[in-house]
């Protein structure tokens, strides 16, 4: 045999590994770990330079980024709440504060949406000098026909100042 048998064996071994790997890649599920994401951006829809102060009763312009990696299209809702460091949501429960505004949309798998929002800022409790702007991500559960909290949220702490100082 002109082609050395050992060389052929090595080439075959490499080919077998490569082909099994290729087949596994074709058969693997499209999404191994489904997730959604939400991020808070500044009014130029960029990270950083977030407002630190806000006049009570004023409106703040911010930008929201939402990403869908659930392996299916999702109907999402971003819920805005005003609270404090003590009323932040957790990975499993939303903030107990009352929703003040919401924005909805549909995203296909792998798609994202970035949109500007104008939110009212006021003291979460009488006399409070700080406020926490909370944005929670909810998705519509088609099996129960109800909204469910994703465990994802973004928040921003701002110091409340008088309208003149702001």
Contact set with another protein (CB under 8 A): 1-3, 8, 11-12, 15-16, 18-20, 22-23, 26-27, 72-75, 103-109, 111, 140, 142, 145, 147
DSSP assignments along 82-136, one per residue: EE-GGG---SSS--SSPEEEEEEEEE-TT-EEEEEEEEE---SSTT-SEEEEEEE
Residues 6+ apart with CB under 8 A from 20: none
Q: Of 49 and 118, which CB lies nearer to another protein in the complex structure? A: 118
Q: Of 38 and 158, which CB lies nearer to another protein in the complex structure? A: 38
Shortest CB 56 distance to another protein, Å: 27
Shortest CB 134 distance to another protein, Å: 21
Shortest CB 163 distance to another protein, Å: 29
Return the sign of the alpha-carbon dihedral for residues 39, 45, 51, 56. negative
Q: Of 4 and 86, which CB lies nearer to another protein in the complex structure? A: 4
């Amino acid at each position: 045999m002109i082609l050395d048998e050992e060389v052929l064996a090595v080439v075959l071994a490499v080919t077998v590994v490569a082909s099994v790997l290729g087949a596994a890649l074709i058969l693997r599920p499209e999404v191994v770990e489904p997730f959604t994401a939400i991020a808070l951006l500044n009014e130029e829809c960029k990270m950083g330079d977030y407002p630190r102060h806000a006049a009570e009763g004023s409106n703040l312009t911010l930008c929201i980024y939402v990403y869908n990696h659930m392996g299916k299209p999702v109907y999402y809702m971003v819920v805005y709440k005003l609270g404090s460091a003590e009323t932040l949501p957790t990975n499993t429960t939303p903030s107990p504060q009352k929703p003040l505004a919401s924005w909805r949309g549909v995203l296909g798998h792998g798609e994202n949406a970035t949109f500007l929002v104008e939110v009212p800022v006021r003291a979460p409790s009488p006399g409070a000098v700080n406020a926490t702007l909370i944005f929670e991500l909810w998705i519509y559960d088609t099996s129960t026909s109800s909204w469910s909290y994703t465990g994802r949220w973004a928040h921003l702490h701002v110091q409340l100042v008088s309208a003149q100082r702001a």
